[in-house]
């Protein structure tokens, strides 16, 4: 069977209103027999995009007493903070070393500032960073749309500065990924409501940038789908790559820089997959199996047997999808759940809390 695996696992081998080029004109169909009208757009200058983003993407080398690995990272600020994947650098936490290679060939040691296994994100910091760093611009991933053109930039297979292009293939794709176990080395489940892309990403791209046609980082590349042994065990790009959305990256990175840890939103429910009947027929959904007493879900009126089909306007097709979407919010935010109960649809608002306030 196929699976989703992390790219380059160590030792295991938002600013403007849209992405892409603006529409310039619509060609009108002269009569009913003519083809549908087509949008005409300016071509994306990928050379200019590459030139703009490459100085902001670094290669990361990890050395431990047990081996080493490579990955990618994104310069987050002028202080030398680098955003990358937890699975790229977590092996260096105890007795390893980190080295950051800039695009121009300069090399710097680095230390871990904070790890967040739950989102597979981490922040490291260069030692004595130079004053001419080029921090990336983190774009607003909430405006990303399926079909938007994107570029992946990173260090696949040790080939630093590699760029590949494609499109956004899907949004809110529920992904569990690390070294193939679905958990980090600390045993924390890794669940992401990911941006799916067909831009080629391979082992070593982990922690690198997924950027839009303006060069804004809309995601951090973190995982690829691979074919199982029945398909030859292919582990390179098969056109299914996954990135952690930029808004989530920004929220987690800021917390890691400020405190070394990150909080995650919870509502206090236990979930399972289900197919629920509603006004429009049967729907795949996340079933509420249990509600923790005193949790936000209980206060909002959720109860066992409810089936959630959407969080705000984001479709929910199962327990993993709902977990990933809820985790992308911040504690204190209020979300609107579309719930099927006894064949009828209703909207229930829930204010999320931090995981350390509500563990279920």
Distance CA 71, CA 15 (A): 26
- Count Cβ neighbours within 10 Å for each residue of 322-334 and write b for 16 or more, e otherwise: bbbbbbbbbbeee
Among 56, 87, 116, 226, the active-site one is 87
Residue 59 bears catalytic tag: no
Residue 120 bears catalytic tag: yes
Among 59, 61, 120, 172, the active-site one is 120
Residue 95 bears catalytic tag: no
Q: Determine contact, residues 115/253, Cβ cutoff 8 Å.
A: no
| 69-73-77-80 Cα dihedral, nearest 10 degrees | 20
Among 206, 222, 226, 237, the active-site one is 206
Among residues 220, 193, 222, 186, the alpha carbon closest in space to that of 90 is found at 186
| 229-234-237-243 Cα dihedral, nearest 10 degrees | 40
φ, ψ (nearest 5 deg) of residue 329: -90, 170
Among residues 15, 139, 131, 14, the alpha carbon closest in space to that of 78 is found at 131
Among residues 106, 65, 101, the alpha carbon closest in space to that of 84 is found at 101
Q: Which two tokens stand for residue 229?
A: 């042994």
Where does 198-303 show beta strands of DSSP type E?
209-211, 217-226, 241-245, 265-266, 269-278, 281-291
Annotated active-site positions, please?
87, 120, 206
């Amino acid at each position: 069977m196929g699976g989703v695996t992390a790219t380059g696992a160590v030792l295991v081998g938002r600013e403007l209103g849209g992405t892409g080029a603006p529409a310039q004109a619509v060609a009108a169909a002269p009569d009913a027999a003519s083809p549908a009208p087509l949008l005409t757009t300016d071509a994306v200058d990928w050379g200019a995009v590459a030139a703009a983003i490459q100085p902001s993407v670094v290669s990361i080398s990890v050395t431990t007493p047990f081996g080493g690995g490579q990955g990618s990272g994104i310069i987050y600020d002028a202080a030398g903070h680098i955003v990358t994947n937890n699975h790229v650098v977590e092996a260096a936490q105890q007795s390893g070393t980190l080295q950051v290679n800039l695009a121009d060939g300069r090399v710097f040691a680095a230390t871990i500032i904070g790890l967040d296994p739950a989102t597979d994100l981490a922040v490291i910091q260069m030692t004595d960073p130079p004053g001419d760093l080029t921090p990336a611009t983190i774009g607003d991933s909430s405006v990303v749309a399926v079909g938007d053109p994107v570029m992946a930039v990173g260090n696949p297979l040790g080939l630093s500065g590699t760029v590949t292009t494609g499109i956004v293939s899907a949004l809110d794709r529920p992904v569990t990924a690390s070294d193939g176990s679905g958990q980090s080395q600390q045993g924390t489940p890794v669940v992401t409501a990911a941006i799916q892309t067909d831009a080629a990403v391979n082992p070593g791209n982990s922690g690198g940038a997924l950027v839009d046609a303006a060069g804004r980082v809309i995601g951090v590349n973190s995982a690829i789908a691979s074919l199982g042994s029945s398909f030859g065990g292919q582990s390179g790009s098969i056109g299914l790559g996954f990135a952690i959305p930029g808004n989530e990256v920004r929220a987690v990175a800021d917390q890691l820089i400020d405190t070394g840890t990150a909080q995650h939103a919870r509502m206090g429910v236990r979930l399972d997959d289900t197919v629920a009947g509603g006004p429009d027929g049967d729907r795949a959904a996340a079933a509420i199996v249990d509600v923790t007493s005193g949790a936000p879900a209980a206060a909002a009126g959720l109860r066992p047997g409810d089936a959630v089909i959407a969080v705000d306007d984001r479709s929910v097709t199962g327990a993993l999808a709902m977990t990933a979407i809820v985790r992308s919010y911040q504690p204190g935010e209020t979300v609107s759940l579309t719930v099927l109960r006894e064949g009828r649809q209703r909207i229930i608002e829930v204010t999320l809390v931090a995981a350390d306030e509500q563990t279920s």
